Chain A
């Protein structure tokens, strides 16, 4: 799914004006691409929804063998959740900065968002190494890794997108106040990934 996601975003990125000149629909095009991305995120969200449904059903009907019910450590994941939420806010500031042509601020906030994303990934790695169970330990363990891993891939992709945008932002760059699509797309995607994490956190750690 993730390679698919890349090809979608790169497709959208690669074709801002060419398609427009090809087919004379320049006015509406930005709008259409955001719409397309949003539709794609609905699809992506359904993948997660499927995983969540599977996880909840497993929980309800397949009790684990006794003695293998782990209390998950909560501190690190909670910090991680906070990191992601903050990064959503910083990304939002980046967007605001771009629209008012404060390119420097925009780059700064993008950098902060990417850093927070990377911190999240590092935190995730640390958690993985300290968990008392491996991938095939039991049903819960497998589901845990599948869900967090799949989400982690999304975060990784998001960080890459942020960095790409970071290098494209400029007064006359590919991304600018009059051509904000790259940043807006990355932002929408990033908020989506955060939102999924909040649900995931609730289901895996708190429930």
Chain B
């Protein structure tokens, strides 16, 4: 993991990076190629996903019985803190932003690389040390016990070293995300191929632009807040320490000012990916391109002004609760536009029911469910009852897992041929899908009822009346764990044994398919094609395109 080291920075790079390791070694080096970096993000994060999933396994095993009997209570809190932190900061955010973003954005804007390749590599290489630090801390100092939200004063009274390590790690990951975001904004705004207009970009570019705006505006606030928190721990200042005259609610405001936008940092790129995948497999143009763009920007704006819906029981003043209720619920409008547009994209298409499509459609189902419970949660009187219960756990797993993780899988089935030049096996893919979908619903649907009826979250022991449903939920988690097997087998086996994919197995129109699979170092052998109609299905001759010629310009510019 640490083969690349800072001295690479000092070595002057000869033109076209000849000194860089070639072949598979590239993937362990300080590579500047956006495609290598993208895959580095995806694979690294997937490893962290396995760890986060194993931790979820510990949680679900503990919750099989109402007593605290599998791990100690302290360990349980450590595990759930690590689970939340790893899944958010080391799995979802890096994959859908850094991973797919780095791989796809330069293609989509017709560039040879990102705007700042070196900064890009730095951003990636901040992740493994941060993640390893976080996980290693568990075995050395113990890990933080105060949840991924790290509310003071609890985070000031739990073991200090552990909390400080957690803070350092999250600061590194936040820094990485800011650097990535700067890069995406600069690439989309400034690196577009001449002649390519903003409103011709594939939707994922817009999603990444919106996401990156959110990351740039909100992540620094988290960084500042965590700095203050670390002062409270290390230097005994009293910002958030009530016994020293501090104010704990201020921390919550600052934390959620970042962490609410963070949920859109986790889901907007997924929206973008779905917008790429659906048209290809439904053979229809993306419905309502411009409303999609406006709704992304509306979500970005609204996302910045709704944070206090996580604090309805924190003693916020009535006017504040009212404002945040309305603002939050209104996010359903731009989000709804996107969902209806996707349904309209499917309507009347020629839908291929392959693994990528199944995962993408399951995403729609799961996310709508999670979104509807979200809108319910946004209502103060409703939230008063279910805040900090398993209802909330159900809500957000429906969204982060049922939404984003399903999209990640869909995206892997969709782009694996481009990454490797090999197809994934469809049978294994469908087994993976079935197990995941059933396991997922079995695991998280019962949690809504548990929450409504009195089970709080973050507990290692609970009222025995909830035993049966918790066991059901744990069975679901087991199925999800099993579902990873066919996926792993598929991904590893297909790499060497898969059917050869060819350059454009889906007959897709977005620019990354107009080059070889896997693509050459600078993306196209000739000039970058100008794709004026990334979703021109049904209009342009879509079969038998001369993609290997790399400059499909003549074909694609017809407007």
Contacts and interface: CB of A to CB of B under 8 A. Distances in A.
Chains A and B share a contact (CB less than 8 Å): yes
Interface string A104-140: 0000000000000000000000000000000110110
A35 B217 CA distance: 16
Given A12-B116, A57-B250, A61-B247, A46 B221 contact: yes
B216 A146 contact: no
A18 interface: yes
B112 interface: yes
A28 B187 CA distance: 11
A71 interface: no
A135 B244 CA distance: 12
Contact of A4 (B113, B175, B224, B244): B175
A126 to B, nearest CB: 22
B223 A25 contact: no
B236 interface: yes
Contacts of A4: 175, 178-179
A135 B237 contact: yes
B47 interface: no
Contacts of B250: 54, 57-58
Contacts of A58: 239, 246-247, 250
Contacts of B310: none
Contacts of B183: 36
A39 interface: yes
Contact of B191 (A28, A40, A42, A139): A28
Interface in B304-330: none
B16 interface: yes
A72 B184 CA distance: 44
Chain B CB within 10 A, most for which of A1, A4, A49, A138: A4
B247 A62 contact: yes
Interface residues of B, number: 53
Interface in A44-99: 44-51, 53-54, 57-58, 61-62, 64-65
A14 interface: yes
Contacts of B218: 46
A2 to B, nearest CB: 11
Given A39-B186, A43-B216, A21 B191 contact: no
Contact of B224 (A15, A19, A47, A136): A47
A50 B118 contact: no
A54 B522 CA distance: 46
B179 A22 contact: no
Contacts of B224: 47-48, 50-51, 54
B117 interface: yes
Contacts of A31: 190
B257 interface: yes
Contact of B186 (A14, A36, A138): A36
A11 B116 contact: yes
A46 B238 contact: no
A8 B220 contact: no
Contacts of B32: 19, 22
Given A39-B216, A54-B228, A24 B246 contact: no
B178 A146 contact: no
Interface string B107-122: 0000111011111001
Nearest to B251: A54
A47 B223 contact: yes
Given A4-B175, A62-B245, A135 B118 contact: no
B15 A142 contact: no
A160 B244 CA distance: 37
A35 B189 contact: yes
A32 interface: yes
A57 B247 CA distance: 9
Given A32-B186, A50-B220, A51-B224, 12 more contacts: A1-B227, A11-B118, A19-B113, A19-B116, A21-B16, A22-B13, A36-B186, A39-B185, A46-B216, A138-B238, A139-B247, A142-B231
24 contacts: A1-B227, A8-B182, A12-B119, A15-B117, A19-B117, A23-B113, A23-B117, A23-B522, A24-B522, A32-B116, A35-B189, A36-B115, A36-B119, A39-B181, A40-B178, A46-B220, A47-B220, A47-B223, A50-B221, A50-B257, A51-B224, A54-B254, A57-B250, A135-B237
Interface of B: 9, 12-13, 15-17, 32, 111-113, 115-119, 122, 175, 178-179, 181-183, 185-186, 189-191, 216-221, 223-225, 227-228, 231, 235-239, 244-247, 250, 253-254, 257, 522
